[in-house]
């Protein structure tokens, strides 16, 4: 049933010019779950988030969010849809000239008419949820990489969205910060009764927090399943990706003529 899935993607085709990024992709995101979208860099993971958020439109296929076809909505419809979404950007996306407190308060002031005393309480609650209530007066440049991600996470839940999307939330983090962020994604999803999409190439950490995972390669869906099913999969692509094997369907070398011929021509 449609109401069981917050997102339904059917036969999506998308290209940047001649570069075909997605080629007939279909998947479902059930409500209340953490779903991981996994794949190598350039496989179309982040583009999928842009399609869900209405930043780009597919050349073919449909993207439904909460029963609405995103690629058929006008600007007002897209804006209304996004009010129910939270986004944690790959680079954090914090406003460098605003304090931690002001970064969290920003969407509340922009999109609500809440009084300032209530905003103050909500900001401190969101920061407390990610363990950074004591850092509210710091500036983004004063934060470590892990702290900045946690502030970005607090901002993504500022307005209690139904859907939170995480674009490479584990990239560039030390093991401790990575584990903290992963735990927060899982615990916040369950505590707030939201739906989370984690786009990542970090397989093991994603499978730790996800209820279900999809693998994308070369613009198509190559595998899906629970964490246990993915780890036990014998699919060549999944096996290579999960076990970080250099040889397999994903080639290390970009297509080129044999090295000996190149050197001979040189």
**pLDDT for res 141:** 93
Q: How far is CA 222 from CA 10, 12, 136, 185, in A?
A: 15, 15, 43, 25
**pLDDT for res 64:** 95
Answer whether 127's CB lies under 8 Å from 154's CB. yes
Instruction: From 191, 180, 202, 113, select the one nearest 157 (Cα to Cα).
Output: 191
Buried/exposed 100-131: b ≥16 CB within 10 Å, e otherwise: bbbbbbbbbeeeeeeeeeebeebbeebbebbe
Residue-by-residue pLDDT tens, the chain, 266 positions: 447 899 999 999 999 888 888 999 999 999 999 999 998 777 788 899 999 999 999 999 999 999 999 989 999 999 899 989 998 887 778 999 999 999 999 999 998 999 999 999 999 999 998 989 999 999 999 998 889 989 999 999 999 899 999 988 888 788 888 888 888 899 989 988 999 999 988 888 898 899 999 988 888 888 899 988 888 888 887 888 787 776 666 665 666 777 777 777 65
**pLDDT for res 174:** 83
**pLDDT for res 1:** 43
Instruction: From 13, 45, 12, 8, select the one nearest 216 (Cα to Cα).
Output: 45
Write down all domains in the chain, each with its CATH number in brackets: 2-84+161-265 (3.40.50.300)
Tell me the three-class secondary structure of 80-114, residue by residue: HHHCCEEEEECCECCCCCCCHHHHHHHHHHHHCCC
**pLDDT for res 8:** 95
């Amino acid at each position: 049933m449609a109401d069981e899935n917050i997102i339904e993607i059917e036969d999506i085709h998308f290209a940047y010019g001649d570069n075909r990024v997605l080629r007939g992709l279909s998947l479902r995101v059930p409500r209340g779950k953490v779903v991981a979208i996994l794949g190598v860099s350039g496989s179309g993971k982040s583009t999928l988030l842009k399609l869900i958020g209405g930043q780009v439109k597919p050349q073919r296929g449909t993207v439904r969010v909460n029963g609405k076809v995103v690629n058929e909505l006008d600007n007002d419809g897209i804006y209304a849809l996004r009010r129910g979404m939270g986004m944690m950007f790959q680079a954090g996306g914090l406003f460098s000239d605003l304090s931690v407190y002001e970064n969290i308060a920003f969407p509340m002031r922009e999109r609500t008419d809440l009084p300032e005393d209530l905003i103050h309480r909500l900001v401190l609650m969101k920061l407390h949820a990610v363990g950074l209530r004591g850092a509210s007066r710091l500036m983004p440049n004063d934060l470590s990489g892990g702290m900045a991600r946690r502030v970005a996470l607090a901002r993504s839940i500022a307005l209690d969205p139904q859907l939170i999307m995480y674009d490479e939330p584990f990239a560039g983090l030390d093991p401790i910060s990575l584990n903290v962020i992963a735990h927060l994604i899982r615990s916040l999803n369950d505590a707030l009764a939201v739906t989370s999409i984690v786009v990542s190439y970090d397989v093991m950490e994603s499978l730790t927090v996800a209820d279900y995972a999809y693998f994308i390669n070369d613009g198509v869906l190559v595998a899906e399943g629970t964490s246990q099913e993915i780890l036990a999969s014998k699919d060549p692509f999944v096996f290579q990706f999960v076990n970080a094997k250099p040889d397999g369907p994903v080639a290390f070398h970009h297509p080129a003529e044999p090295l000996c011929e190149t050197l001979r021509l040189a």
